[in-house]
Amino acid sequence: MKLKFAIKTLAISVLLITIFSSCENEEINEPTNAIEISSKASVTLQWDGNPATFANALTQAVRNAGAGGTVTLPNRTYRTDRSVFLPTDIPNVTITGATNRDNVRIVATRTFNTPGLVVTGANGTIYRNMTVDWAGLDNNSVAVSSQGKSGVQAYNMRFANAGQGFGTPDNRTGLPIDFLVASNCEFRNCARGILFNRNFSSTPVSSIGKVIIRNCQFLGDQLAGISIDCGNDGADGREDLRILPRAAEAMGIVTDMNGMEISGCFFQKAQNFNLAFAKVKNIQVFGNTFEGTTGAVRFTEAINIEHESNGISINGNNISNFAQGDHNYISVITFRDYGNAPLFENGCRRIFINNNTFSGNCGSGIIGEEAQFVDIFDNNFNFPLPVGDHVNFFRSDRGNRNINVDRNTNTPTNKIRITTF
């Protein structure tokens, strides 16, 4: 890490390394962009209780703490009538509640046009031990916006009653979420807990630094727990976006998530999906529990993978879906958002679904269309079983018949490999 000051002695060097590498046990040490560090301090927030002054009070506390400093919020509820836009020139600051997220709450008092209730200003910002609550007043904004900054992290946080919980707002900005971390966090009544839309036509993002979502809970009323949707924005996407700059280029881009990890999380039932991936590659999903969907929306799954996604590993999870009819555990499909015909060129590749435990009387188990190089190995299908096939993959030019019917028996732990058709 580059420092603003010259290091004169080995003793000082060792001291600095010790300071900058110290962390609590739950903190995840993933690489982030190099950030210059200046003076730092520990500051306790001072606030007069007026919702009109909270944003300024927290912003000033961050300035007083300086780069690498810590701002502590004493136990209480902090009500604000405006967004908190953190300083853009104070990197690596930690904002933490004094005890835990039940005792320290930031709550919106009214609706206002903003990318977030708390808007990150600089790289390396860390949030801890607080609740940030939009109070159901905004459907598009995010509780804590990472605002395109790198290495933004959240530990033991609760994001509540918002359009999105943590990351980027649903406003077509396409801001990247490089090295975003959420650990031991709760997402409650967020339409989408974590959202990323590439919007390549406006902001070229073909690669995202590794994101880690670990030991989190996605609870309450929600459309999707996590949605990483990097499609629908180019020449093969929405009609109204095809005229934008780089739209043609976007057609050939699948965003590399560089080993994004989703692990140890719990997903309550969602209206659409627990997880949704579109036009992304290199994601690992392991050791999670998925409760599937509510059944309120047709054609919904616990996990939806679509639109040229590849290199997705679904391994060692407990996956259920008791929404009957046309609902499933996992779907691996093409691009159907606007009535598009299923095309092999829009299918998914290199999808690995191994060592999972499935249960629930949904329509079918694992379905797919126009897919290639899919391994479905050593999974357990427990009672109640799907009403239809355990595995049902098809292609339109094969009459939409199940291309695995000869191996799709009542022993679903069979190894099924879908290669080329």
The ranges assigned to domains in the chain are 10-418
Identify which of 349, 343, 228, 208 has the alpha carbon closest to the alpha carbon of residue 277. 228
Is residue 130 within 8 Å of residue 140, measured between CB atoms?
no
Q: Where are the beta strands (DSSP E) in 10-130?
A: 42-44, 70-73, 76-80, 84-85, 94-97, 104-108, 116-119, 126-128
Copy the structure tokens of residue 319.
């996956």
Q: Which helix (H) or strand (E) holds 61?
A: helix 54-65
Q: Which two tokens stand for residue 393?
A: 């993959």
Biggest distance spanned by C-alpha atoms of the chain: 74
Predicted pLDDT at 216: 99
CATH node for 10-418 = 2.160.20
Q: What angle do CA 317, 323, 329 make, to 5 degrees?
A: 30
pLDDT given for residue 26 in this prediction: 59
Query: What pLDDT was estimated at residue 420?
Result: 53
Q: Is the bond into 384 cis (omega within 30 degrees of 0)? A: yes
pLDDT attached to residue 399: 63
What would the two tokens of residue 301 be? Answer: 């799954």
H-state helical runs in 287-351: none
State residue 21's pLDDT score. 39
- Quote the CA–CA distance of 160 and 142 in Å, as a whole number: 10
**What tokens appear for 254 in the block?**
């699948």
**Which whole-number Å values give the CA distances from 268 to 154, 231, 373, in the listed order?**
21, 26, 30
pLDDT at site 7: 37
Sort strands 104-108 and 217-219 into parallel, antiparallel or unpaired: unpaired
Strands in 273-278's sheet, in edge-to-edge order, are 84-85, 116-119, 142-145, 164-167, 192-197, 224-229, 273-278, 301-306, 328-333, 364-369, 391-394
Tell me what pLDDT residue 16 has.
37
Report the distance separating Cα 396 and Cα 343, nearest Å: 8
Give the residue ranges of the chain where pLDDT is below 70: 1-27, 29-39, 170-172, 200-203, 233, 237, 338, 398-414, 420-421
